[in-house]
Structure 1
């Protein structure tokens, strides 16, 4: 998997293909700030929103605002849960603290919701590719899911990768 990430997902060509996404999002950020001229602007919130949008577009392609909002909201929940002090951090060998604090069950709920979002995105990509009968020829239009599905379907791997593997790679690479 490390080789796939380095050779296919993080290559110079792949990173350069996201230039248009970065450019669009920066222009959109500047426009939002321009429209809010004379008003107070939470730059941190705007930067987080546009960075999340860039990452979502690079990983998932064009995603509905609703799905993007759900994903960003879940990521914010994870960050809020993970920040600060937790008793379980002091006593790593006592797994009961993870359950008693409620952190682990809450993180598992969020993971399940993200898993559903990722599964739907993968199915949507598969359906789009089935309708088009081929993968996108222009590498500038490929997102991370497209690349992973193309690698999976090429059959060049020693071990086949599943949708769960694709979701795990996206989850690790994305946030």
Structure 2
């Protein structure tokens, strides 16, 4: 996990006090086969998963606007699709009204060239309802990864309210 993701997770744990049981976890080995997430999905046996990840931000020379996935400072990414997963529509469709109600900046994330732990957890031990929030990161997987604090705070706000208002709805039927 990046320091931005850790910050989001820890602040959410501190701020949210939901009526349902919530397990917060960090995983390892995403880049070598989503191994940690696959094991976690079986061990916890969740009813709903919201993954938190970084995503590509590519507003630098040589990358056209149509190839950009997200933009620094435009808010947390709500994953619609990536190369490994299509999140559960009912979960994805709940994020936007929550964000709008809190005036939280977000951007729709659609990518074709990256994957995430969301896919491994979705399929661990059978199909699971999943959603994913992403922090836009420039120079991803390098020594100079760069995120915008506004995007990190947007992720905290959206995830906190989402978790706090979770009522155990059956997303599998959506």
TM-score above 0.5: no
Larger strand proportion of the pair: 2
**Alignment TM-score, normalising by the size of structure 1:** 0.24
Q: Please, what TM-score do these two structures have when normalized by structure 2? A: 0.24
- Structure holding more helix per residue: 1
Higher relative contact order (CA 8 A, sep 6+): 2
